[in-house]
Chain A
Amino acid sequence: MRLRANLVIGGTLLTAVTAIAVTAAFWTPYAPRAVNLRRRLNPPSDLHWLGTDEFGRDVLSRLMVGAETSLTVAAVTVLVAMAIGVAIGLLAGFFRGWTDRALMALNDALLAFPGILLALGLLTVIGPSKWGIVLALGLAYAPAVARVVRGSVLSLREREFIEASRALGNSELYTLWRHVLPNCVSPLTVLATSMFGWVILSESALSFLGLGVPPPAPSWGNMLSTARPFLESATWLSIAPGVMIALCLLGTNLLGDALRDLLDPRT
């Protein structure tokens, strides 16, 4: 019962946000960067459903484009983290010995930077931009992927079907790709779903700090950051972007719970 509810509610929320993002790629009520100084800080009305910001820009339009930005950044970041993490994890788990020890030592050192600290450090080097965030968060989350993949590989490599593949004369690389990797898919799906949520949260936090998507391009994080000085005079600016982030994360968390129940019957 709970599984079904999680799946339906989580799926609906994420589909809705995706639909908003796709729509924004083709159409928004107003141009998201169009400044209109005669309509500065207008409260929600028939003309502007979610009001206007300090430059008279339409909040709804910016919110929609923000969805596009957040989802793109999150999806590409997860792919980057997965690609790097899977490569490191497979190599470490399969070749063991010194390769494993060296890669895992590096991995553990990177995992010792809590939260977004590593991403903050990497952004110092890369510089803040949309793709800078993708690279910084991708590198920061790769060690977690590597750890999961290595664990699965270590438990898989002694199993009979891997022995059988070797005995048939298949190369190590072929065995790795054809037989080991497909068995890592279900833990990786669960991880990728949670990671999608972490990235949306981290991206909005970094943009809120001014280290993420640079204005005037809209993102939920930088919209909240510019809303802070207008907390008293223009309350609506602080509400909508936060609701969007929360709905996105709620969808991801519920879907993640559902996937964990489906793919990992242990719990």
Chain B
Amino acid sequence: MIGYAARRSLAAIPTLLLVAIAVFLLMRLIPGDPAQLMLGDAASAEEVQALRRSMGLEAPLPLQFLHWAGAALGGNLGRSITNGEPVLPLILSRFSVTAAIVLLAVALATLVAVPLGMLAAWKQNRATDLAVVAFATLMLSIPSFWLGLILLLVFGVKLGWLPVVGFVTFAEDPWAAAAYIVLPVATLVLIELGGMTRMARAATIDVLRLDYISHARAKGLSEFTVMRRHALPNAFAPTLTLIGLVLGNLLGGIAVIETVFTLPGLGRLLVEAIFQRDYPVVQGVMLFVAGIYVVVNLLVDLAYPIFDPRVTAE
């Protein structure tokens, strides 16, 4: 167990390094001189030359990377071009908004999707199953930002129950903040429900074929006990892997939801930075999100043996 955890954790280090190299090289692919890009067209030749020297752009590329990666490890991701703020605190303040919505949505979606998927698998090929699969496939096919618009139209505009534009942090006013967060979370829960339910159903069908389930039934256990005590832990393991992927996908694609609901999250920060050609911010957000994704997948893999101890045996 400890060996497995150590091996898996060590394997994440080269991935993180390669991700950092990819982000670094990507930004160097932008045509033009980075110092000139950062200062803008109005800068004088001396200013550009001075920044080139302070950024270490005269050094060979590998040395430049080490310089940049070293600073990033120390929490220094540079400063935004547009307002001169340090990038990391900017990312962290925006991330708190995104993280709250994403974590809440994934937790709620899991709580609904796993029992729903297991129910469908238990009733495989019957009306209940067909209805659940049809619902899940439909949810899988609706673009999140459109569902967001429709929910906004119904609950914000037509019924007037919830605010249409704006955001308040939890620290300012928890009740108002909750009102702003209900629709984005509901949208993400509905969208992610599709993939997760289908995964939970497929995993449960695989498990229900196994001999130990027949054995549990032969012992005379009730169907509910068989499903909860015997099928659930093994069927949950593949769903757990999917949850890791979903968390990452949501972080990578959250910009559209934040745009629909005008939330000041990490995705909006990235899109605004792309529009303003604020390269240090783009670079910082990409490194941050990819880094989080690697860590989330690591945590998922570390939690996996709790549900399926066979993986550590390898």
Task: Using CB atoms and an 8 Å cutoff, list the residues of chain A in contact with chain B.
Answer: 2, 105-106, 108-110, 112-117, 120-125, 197, 201, 204-205, 208-211, 224-225, 227-228, 231-232, 235, 238-239, 241-242, 245-247, 249-250, 252-254, 257, 267
CB distance A121 to B146 under 8 Å? no
CB distance A112 to B15 under 8 Å? yes
Kindly state the separation between the CA atoms of A116 and B145 in the bound complex, as whole angstroms. 14
- The 29 listed contacts between A and B (C-beta, < 8 Å) are A105-B18, A108-B18, A109-B15, A112-B290, A114-B245, A114-B289, A117-B252, A117-B289, A120-B252, A120-B255, A120-B270, A120-B271, A120-B274, A121-B23, A121-B26, A122-B26, A201-B143, A205-B253, A208-B256, A211-B271, A224-B149, A231-B152, A232-B164, A238-B153, A239-B150, A241-B146, A242-B143, A250-B141, A253-B141
Query: When each residue 3-15 of chain B gets 1 if its CB lies under 8 Å from chain A and 0 otherwise, what string results?
Result: 0000000000011
CB distance B274 to A115 under 8 Å? no
Kindly state the separation between the CA atoms of A116 and B144 in the bound complex, as whole angstroms. 14
CB distance B153 to A231 under 8 Å? yes
Chain A residues near B30: list those with CB within 8 A: 124-125
Kindly state the separation between the CA atoms of A242 and B202 in the bound complex, as whole angstroms. 29
The CB with the most chain B CB atoms within 10 A, among A124, A197, A208, A257, is that of: A124
Chain B residues near A122: list those with CB within 8 A: 26
CB distance A224 to B259 under 8 Å? no
Cβ of A245 to closest chain B Cβ, rounded Å: 5
CB distance B142 to A249 under 8 Å? yes
Kindly state the separation between the CA atoms of A225 and B21 in the bound complex, as whole angstroms. 34
CB distance B293 to A112 under 8 Å? yes
CB distance B275 to A113 under 8 Å? no
Kindly state the separation between the CA atoms of A144 and B23 in the bound complex, as whole angstroms. 19
Cβ of A141 to closest chain B Cβ, rounded Å: 13
Q: Does B29 contact A (CB under 8 A)?
A: yes
The CB with the most chain B CB atoms within 10 A, among A120, A122, A254, is that of: A120
Q: Determine chain A's interface SS by DSSP, over half rule.
A: helix
Cβ of B141 to closest chain A Cβ, rounded Å: 4
Q: Does B265 contact A (CB under 8 A)?
A: no
Kindly state the separation between the CA atoms of A110 and B253 in the bound complex, as whole angstroms. 16
Chain A residues near B69: list those with CB within 8 A: none
CB distance B18 to A106 under 8 Å? yes
CB distance B252 to A113 under 8 Å? yes
Q: Determine chain B's interface SS by DSSP, over half rule.
A: helix
CB distance A246 to B146 under 8 Å? yes
CB distance A112 to B294 under 8 Å? yes
Query: When each residue 242-255 of chain B gets 1 if its CB lies under 8 Å from chain A and 0 otherwise, what string results?
Result: 00010011111101
Chain B residues near A120: list those with CB within 8 A: 252, 255, 270-271, 274, 286
The CB with the most chain A CB atoms within 10 A, among B137, B156, B271, is that of: B137
Q: Pick the 3 closest A-B CB pairs, nearest first.
A: A115-B252, A114-B248, A109-B18
Kindly state the separation between the CA atoms of A140 and B286 in the bound complex, as whole angstroms. 14
Within 8 A of A (CB), among B135-194: 137-138, 140-143, 145-146, 149-150, 152-153, 156-157, 164
Chain B residues near A257: list those with CB within 8 A: 137
Q: Does B300 contact A (CB under 8 A)?
A: no
Q: Does B282 contact A (CB under 8 A)?
A: yes
Kindly state the separation between the CA atoms of A224 and B256 in the bound complex, as whole angstroms. 11
User: Given that A117-B286, A209-B259, A224-B149 are contacting pairs, would A123 and B274 also be in contact in the complex, using a CB cutoff of 8 Å?
Assistant: yes
Chain B residues near A246: list those with CB within 8 A: 141-143, 146
CB distance A125 to B142 under 8 Å? no
Quick one: closest A residue to B245, CB to CB?
A114
Chain B residues near A125: list those with CB within 8 A: 26-27, 29-30
Name B19's contact: one of A113, A124, A197, A250 (CB within 8 Å).
A113
User: Given that A117-B289, A125-B30, A231-B164 are contacting pairs, would A249 and B143 also be in contact in the complex, using a CB cutoff of 8 Å?
Assistant: yes
Q: Does B66 contact A (CB under 8 A)?
A: no
Name B22's contact: one of A109, A224, A245 (CB within 8 Å).
A109
